[in-house]
Chains A and B, each alone.
Chain A
Amino acid sequence: MSRTTIPRSVDVLVIGTGFAGLGTAARLKREGTHSFLVLERADDVGGTWRDNTYPGAACDVPSHLYSFSFRPNPDWSRLFARQPEIHRYLRDTAREEGLLPHIRFGAEVRDARWDPAEGRWTVTTTRGVFTGRFLVTGAGHLSDHRLPDIPGIGDFGGPVFHSARWDHGTGLEGKRVAVVGSGASAVQIVPEVADSASQVTVFQRSAPYVVPRADRAYTETEQRVFRRDPEAVPAHRAEIFWYLEAGFAARRAAPHQLAEAKAAARAHLERQIADPALRQALTPDHELGCKRVLISDTYYPALTRDHVTLEPSALARVEPGKAIAASGAAHAVDVIVLCTGFETTEPPYARLVHDADGRSLADHWARGMEAFASTTVAGFPNLFLVNGPHTGLGHNSIVHVIEAQIDYLLGALAWSRAQGDRTVEVSAAAQERYAADLDRQARGTVWDGERCRSWYVDPRSKRVTLIWPDFADAFRHRNGTFDPAPYAATAG
Chain B
Amino acid sequence: MTTPTDARTTEGSATVDGIRVRYLDSGEPDPGGEGDRPPLVLVHGTGGSIEREYGYLFPMLAARQRVVALDFAQPVPADGRLTLDQLERQVAAVCESVLPGRRVTLVGYSLGAVVATALAAHRPGLAVNLVAVAGWAATDTQQRLRGGVWRRLREDRSPALASYTAFCALGGPFLAAATLEQLAPLLEGQVPGDFDDLQMELNQSIDITALLPEVRATTLVIGCTHDQMVPVRHSKALFAAIPDARYTEVASGHAVLFERPAQLVQLIDRFNARPSAQPAGRVIPEARV
Smallest distance from the beta carbon of A469 to chain B beta carbons, Å? 10
Mask of A224-260 contacts with B, CB within 8 angstroms, 1/0: 0000000000110111011101101100111111100
Q: Considering the chains assembled together, what is the distance between the CA atoms of A239 and B55 in angstroms?
A: 21
Partner of A252, one of B30, B60, B261: B60
Residue in A closest to B258 when the chains form the complex, CB atoms: A246
Taking CB atoms, residues of chain A closer than 8 Å to B56 are 246, 249, 254, 257
CB of B3 within 8 Å of the partner chain: yes
Mask of A43-77 contacts with B, CB within 8 angstroms, 1/0: 00000000000000000000001000100000000
Taking CB atoms, residues of chain A closer than 8 Å to B60 are 249, 252, 254
Smallest distance from the beta carbon of A230 to chain B beta carbons, Å? 15
Smallest distance from the beta carbon of B2 to chain A beta carbons, Å? 4
CB of A449 within 8 Å of the partner chain: yes
Taking CB atoms, residues of chain B closer than 8 Å to A238 are 251, 286, 289
Could you say which of A65, A243, A258, A400 has the most chain B C-beta atoms within 10 Å of its C-beta? A243
CB of A3 within 8 Å of the partner chain: no
CB of A147 within 8 Å of the partner chain: no
Is B262's CB under 8 angstroms from A249's CB? yes
Partner of A248, one of B3, B262, B287, B288: B262
Mask of B26-39 contacts with A, CB within 8 angstroms, 1/0: 00001011000000
Partner of B177, one of A239, A246, A248, A448: A239
Is B30's CB under 8 angstroms from A245's CB? no
CB of A476 within 8 Å of the partner chain: yes
Residue in A closest to B251 when the chains form the complex, CB atoms: A238
Smallest distance from the beta carbon of A23 to chain B beta carbons, Å? 15
Mask of B265-289 contacts with A, CB within 8 angstroms, 1/0: 1100010000000000000001111
Interface size class of A (residues with CB under 8 A): 35 or more
Taking CB atoms, residues of chain A closer than 8 Å to B289 are 65, 69, 234, 237-238, 241-242, 400, 473
CB of A443 within 8 Å of the partner chain: yes
Is A246's CB under 8 angstroms from B261's CB? yes
CB of B173 within 8 Å of the partner chain: yes
Q: Considering the chains assembled together, what is the distance between the CA atoms of A261 and B262 in angstroms?
A: 16
Partner of A255, one of B59, B63, B261, B270: B59
Taking CB atoms, residues of chain A closer than 8 Å to B263 are 242, 245, 473
Partner of B30, one of A237, A440, A449: A440
Taking CB atoms, residues of chain B closer than 8 Å to A287 are 1
CB of B49 within 8 Å of the partner chain: no
CB of B81 within 8 Å of the partner chain: no
Taking CB atoms, residues of chain B closer than 8 Å to A476 are 287-288
Partner of A443, one of B30, B55, B174: B30
Smallest distance from the beta carbon of B37 to chain A beta carbons, Å? 15
Is A242's CB under 8 angstroms from B177's CB? no
CB of A414 within 8 Å of the partner chain: no
Smallest distance from the beta carbon of B148 to chain A beta carbons, Å? 32
Is A252's CB under 8 angstroms from B63's CB? yes
CB of B260 within 8 Å of the partner chain: yes
CB of B47 within 8 Å of the partner chain: no
Taking CB atoms, residues of chain B closer than 8 Å to A257 are 56, 59
Is A444's CB under 8 angstroms from B1's CB? yes
Residue in A closest to B56 when the chains form the complex, CB atoms: A249
Taking CB atoms, residues of chain A closer than 8 Å to B147 are none
Is A443's CB under 8 angstroms from B287's CB? no
Taking CB atoms, residues of chain B closer than 8 Å to A471 are 262, 265-266
CB of B13 within 8 Å of the partner chain: no
Taking CB atoms, residues of chain B closer than 8 Å to A473 are 262-263, 266, 287, 289
Is B173's CB under 8 angstroms from A235's CB? yes
CB of B4 within 8 Å of the partner chain: yes
Is B59's CB under 8 angstroms from A239's CB? no
Smallest distance from the beta carbon of A142 to chain B beta carbons, Å? 22
Q: Considering the chains assembled together, what is the distance between the CA atoms of A436 and B31 in angstroms?
A: 13
Partner of A246, one of B5, B32, B262: B262
Residue in A closest to B177 when the chains form the complex, CB atoms: A239
Nearest 5 CB-CB pairs, A to B? A245-B262, A254-B59, A241-B289, A444-B2, A246-B262
14 A-B pairs besides A256-B59, A287-B1 with CB distance below 8 A are: A239-B174, A242-B260, A243-B177, A245-B262, A246-B261, A254-B56, A254-B59, A255-B59, A257-B56, A400-B289, A437-B33, A440-B30, A471-B266, A473-B287
B interface with A by C-beta (< 8 Å): 1-6, 30, 32-33, 55-56, 59-60, 63, 173-174, 177, 251, 259-263, 265-266, 270, 286-289
Can you list 18 A-B contacts with CB-CB less than 8 angstroms, sorted by A residue number?
A69-B289, A239-B177, A239-B251, A243-B177, A245-B262, A245-B263, A246-B261, A252-B3, A252-B4, A252-B60, A253-B1, A254-B3, A255-B59, A256-B55, A257-B59, A443-B30, A474-B266, A476-B288
